[in-house]
Chain A
Amino acid sequence: AQTVTQSQPEMSVQEAETVTLSCTYDTSENNYYLFWYKQPPSRQMILVIRQEAYKQQNATENRFSVNFQKAAKSFSLKISDSQLGDTAMYFCAFKGGSTLGRLYFGRGTQLTVWP
């Protein structure tokens, strides 16, 4: 079974600073995707960034980047130049090739960006 662990229930950062959210996972699969989703108070889940396990290069989307360490089964999210609008719950998620597309989620990290 796949498990996703986020060990930081809450994080805070000052506007314009950089913050890193941690995620570890466990799987026996070789081919899979990892995702970071953002959930603001509106409840709308928004895909922030994704990483395919076979790609060695870390994914980057504007201010968001990941540090994917496949051997360590670690997938952290770095947010640079934090903005007030980044305040949200962030979920790490796993999707494997054998699981018919279902996502496995961590428990989330509540990020607060302070002015």
Chain B
Amino acid sequence: GAGVSQSPSNKVTEKGKDVELRCDPISGHTALYWYRQRLGQGLEFLIYFQGNSAPDKSGLPSDRFSAERTGESVSTLTIQRTQQEDSAVYLCASTVSGRGLYNEQFFGPGTRLTVL
């Protein structure tokens, strides 16, 4: 595809349910990042994938959050037992490689998660 895509665009769930968010990076991009954007805030880093390994998971806020990546393609972010404070926009970005300082990150349109 032409850019990073994410699905669903919007997700409304009930507190305590599990949700899965999907990110399709730009073809050929080996690095993938997940960020969270709470209302009125900047983006907070969650996790970084280089290929299908995650050398930096330091931003995951709790063990209810997990992510995986298949090869150098799709990534899913899973939130278990959702809480109201998980309500946010979840953004995914990809880049040619995470090791290059110059490499631009291309962002998807995000998934807006609302936990009732």
The yes or no answer to A107 lying at the interface (CB within 8 A) is yes
A45 near B95: Cβ-Cβ < 8 Å: no
Contact of B56 among A95, A96, A100 (CB under 8 A): A100
A101 near B109: Cβ-Cβ < 8 Å: no
B55 near A100: Cβ-Cβ < 8 Å: yes
B48 near A108: Cβ-Cβ < 8 Å: no
Contacts of B95 in A (CB 8 A): 101
Smallest CB gap from B111: residue in A: A43
The yes or no answer to B1 lying at the interface (CB within 8 A) is no
Contacts of A33 in B (CB 8 A): 101-102
B side interface size, CB within 8 A:
31
The yes or no answer to A63 lying at the interface (CB within 8 A) is no
Known: A43-B110, A44-B109. A101 touches B42 (CB 8 A): no
B43 near A42: Cβ-Cβ < 8 Å: no
Contacts of B104 in A (CB 8 A): 47, 50
In the assembled complex, the CB of A45 is this many whole angstroms from the nearest CB of chain B, namely 4
Encoded as 1 (CB less than 8 Å from any A CB) or 0, chain B from 42 to 62 comes to 111100101000011001000
CA distance A44 to B56 in the complex (A): 24
B109 near A108: Cβ-Cβ < 8 Å: no
A102 near B101: Cβ-Cβ < 8 Å: no
B40 near A102: Cβ-Cβ < 8 Å: no
B contact residues vs A (CB 8 Å cutoff): 31, 33, 35, 40-45, 48, 50, 55-56, 59, 89, 91, 93, 95, 97-105, 107, 109-110, 112
